[in-house]
């Protein structure tokens, strides 16, 4: 067994790997950038090594620094986690060439599956069904447009080196193809250094089904059943579950069998995931499920597989990398119950899911279920990395129980002042169609308006805020107030531009609320949402979206400007695009009006809260 391990990653996955390594008695080494000097994964590890400045390209993506850190600390092996260098075949080979153990598949297997076009060709040769599309070498816009026209719209443009939902664009109309191709290529070049794309036929009722596979150096390959990852936003998984709803045993055997054949075709070792797209218009059927790609690493959503199988997949990785055979045979693996995972992101759904950064002054995810996170109260969410705060995982005897358990976990999320998508996730879970397993990858897009929580507090929250505000002022004990008292307690608060004087004249109003107060505000939590009431009672300040000024939510680069000063715009219309945190973010008009000011040009680098544009309301 490996005795010392360097984790070439950060955040929750680094913490996850460290926990299992420590359970096995393995010494752990963390690496960290400037931004992560005091991060949780560094505090958890036995030793930490600084590897460079905050930008990933100068630290976590510099393989030479990571290998040097391993050798300097006497680490025997390197675990890449997911993202960063986890699917970089050259880095994997460099680790091996340095005399270290690579906790992952062979570099040749990574290369074979690393480019989506080559992988699809290989799978077709192995008899694994693949989605219709174009994977040719002619990458001229004219040829790609002609192929898209021939496939028929809608089509999906995918970066061949893509992953994590990046470098993907759905195109519904021929006239939109050129712009979508340009945007896709920009994002692919920025994220992966490769702007080559392939085209796929867009499946009208698509479900994202993936199979966890595992191989060892002794020729054994097994699957650990399937997951459903159909709930996605902008091709980024949001909620994942296992097993897939509606999957019968015959279809499961066909799909999981195909996944094993795919892994065998590349002589696979370690953890991997075979991703399929299914046409769910008539339920899950083996003849309507096609190979999409293989992820040659551990997946973000691996906990749901662990929950239904009772296996520790990180332990499996470490044992396989140590030369041991797989811990279980196929006939020893079974499904128990149902598990669902939700990705808690630092983002504000009410502002188009713009990422939210800053210090976690208040951070409480509760004690129920399984929580995978890389932060604690007092830590900061940086603009340099992915905005995922945590993964919340619930298990139940059946799907309904798992949904209820996860919704309860999310309902109790308390995070401030960083905004999260917890309320949005609750709404997804409790949607009637989700509960009935009427799923496809367009679910969130179709229902977005109903899934994004109302950001305005209701009357009960106003009154609860007044209770908390009065308690913070060290008024007489609230329980001592009486309905017929000589004077009723009152508090004056504001929420945005809404200012109210709340008089508490009913004993029922004094029920305790989940939240806190400081000298400036009252913050309440309900349904995963945070509601901040201002105790200083001032009108909404300039520079907010509500007043028509669009501010940069974080440092970034303006990649496009779509309007001109003086132009009339409609609510929700894209004004410009900001590239930040490895994603493109559309900045939208907050209401119908006129662009009164345009403060940036394409290519401009902006800092957080820099003015981007200002819209004046239409008269």
Catalytic (active-site) positions = 297
The Cβ-side half-sphere exposure at 1, using a 13 Å CA radius, reads 12
> What's the CA gap between 263 and 103, in Å, rounded?
17
Adjacency order of strands within the sheet including 77-79? 47-52, 27-33, 4-7, 77-79, 101-102
432 contacts: CB under 8 Å, gap ≥ 6: none
> What's the CA gap between 496 and 545, in Å, rounded?
11
> What's the CA gap between 16 and 7, in Å, rounded?
10
- Is residue 411 classed exposed, middle or buried when 0-12, 13-18 and 19+ CB atoms within 10 A define those classes? buried
Q: Measuring CA to CA, which residue among 300, 223, 295 is closest to residue 259?
A: 223
HEC profile of 180-232: HHHHHHHHHHHHHCCCCEEEEECCCCEEEEEEEEEECCCCCEEEEEEEEEEEE
| DSSP character at residue 66 | H
Q: Are strands 574-580 and 236-242 parallel, antiparallel or unpaired?
A: unpaired
> What's the CA gap between 367 and 365, in Å, rounded?
7
Q: Find how far residue 64's CA is from the centre of its chain.
A: 28
Distance (Å) of CA 309 to CA 268, 328, 354, 577: 21, 11, 36, 43
158 contacts: CB under 8 Å, gap ≥ 6: 116, 167, 168, 184, 197, 198, 199, 200
Q: Are 49 and 73 in contact (CB under 8 A)?
A: yes
- Is residue 230 classed exposed, middle or buried when 0-12, 13-18 and 19+ CB atoms within 10 A define those classes? buried
**What is the phi/psi pair of residue 59, to 5°?**
-145, -80
């Amino acid at each position: 067994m490996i005795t010392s391990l360097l984790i070439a990653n950060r955040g929750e996955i680094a913490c996850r790997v460290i926990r299992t390594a420590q359970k096995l008695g393995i010494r752990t080494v963390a690496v960290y950038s400037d931004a992560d000097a005091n991060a949780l994964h560094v505090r958890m590890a036995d030793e930490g090594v600084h590897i460079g400045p905050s930008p990933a390209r100068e630290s976590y993506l510099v393989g030479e620094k990571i290998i040097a850190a391993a050798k300097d600390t006497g680490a025997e092996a390197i675990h890449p986690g997911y993202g960063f260098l986890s699917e970089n075949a050259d880095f994997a080979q460099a680790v091996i060439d340095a005399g270290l153990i690579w906790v992952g598949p062979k570099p040749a297997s990574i290369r074979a599956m690393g480019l989506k076009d080559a992988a699809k060709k290989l799978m077709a040769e192995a008899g694994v069904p693949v989605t219709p599309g174009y994977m040719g070498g002619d990458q001229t816009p004219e040829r790609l447009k002609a192929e898209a026209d021939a496939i028929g719209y809608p089509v999906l443009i995918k970066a061949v080196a893509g992953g994590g939902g990046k470098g993907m664009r759905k195109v519904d109309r021929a006239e939109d193809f050129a712009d979508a191709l340009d945007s896709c290529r920009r994002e692919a070049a920025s994220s992966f250094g490769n702007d080559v794309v392939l085209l796929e036929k867009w499946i009208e009722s698509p479900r994202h089904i993936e199979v966890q596979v595992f191989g060892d150096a002794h020729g054994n390959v097994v699957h650990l059943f399937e997951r459903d990852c159909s709930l996605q936003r902008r091709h980024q998984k949001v909620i994942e579950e296992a097993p897939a709803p509606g999957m019968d045993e015959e279809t499961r055997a066909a799909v999981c069998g195909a996944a094993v054949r795919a892994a065998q075709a590349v002589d696979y070792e370690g953890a991997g995931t075979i991703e399929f797209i299914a046409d769910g218009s008539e339920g899950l059927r083996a003849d309507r499920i096609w190979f999409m790609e293989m992820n040659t690493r551990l997946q973000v959503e691996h906990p749901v597989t662990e929950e239904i199988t009772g296996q520790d997949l990180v332990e499996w990785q470490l044992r396989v990398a140590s030369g041991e055979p797989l811990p279980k045979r196929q006939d020893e693996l079974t499904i128990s119950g149902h598990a669902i995972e939700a990705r808690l992101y630092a983002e504000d759904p009410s502002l188009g899911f713009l990422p939210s950064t800053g210090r976690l002054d208040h951070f409480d995810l509760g004690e129920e279920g399984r929580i995978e996170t890389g932060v604690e109260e007092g830590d900061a969410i940086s603009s340099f990395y992915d905005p995922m705060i945590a993964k919340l995982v619930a298990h139940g005897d059946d799907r309904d129980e798992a949904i209820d358990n996860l919704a309860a976990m999310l309902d109790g999320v308390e995070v401030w002042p960083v905004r999260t998508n917890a309320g949005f996730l609750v709404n997804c879970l409790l949607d009637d169609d989700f509960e009935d397993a009427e799923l496809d990858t367009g679910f969130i897009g179709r229902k977005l308006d109903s899934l994004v929580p109302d950001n305005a507090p209701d009357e009960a929250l106003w009154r609860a805020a007044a209770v908390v505000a009065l308690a913070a002022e060290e008024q007489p004990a609230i329980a001592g107030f009486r309905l017929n008292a000589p004077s009723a307690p009152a508090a004056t608060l504001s929420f945005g531009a809404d200012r109210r004087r709340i008089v508490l004249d009913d004993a029922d109003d004094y029920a305790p609320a989940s939240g806190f107060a400081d000298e400036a505000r009252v913050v309440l939590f309900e349904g995963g949402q945070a509601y901040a009431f201002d105790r200083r009672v001032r009108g909404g300040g300039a520079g907010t979206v509500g007043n028509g000024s669009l501010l940069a939510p974080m440092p970034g680069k303006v990649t496009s400007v779509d309007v001109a000063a003086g132009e009339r715009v409609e609510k929700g219309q894209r004004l410009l695009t900001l590239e930040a945190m490895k994603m493109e973010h559309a900045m939208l008009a907050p209401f119908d009006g006129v662009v009164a000011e345009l403060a940036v040009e394409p290519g401009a680098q902006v800092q957080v809260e820099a003015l981007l544009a200002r819209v004046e309301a239409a008269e």
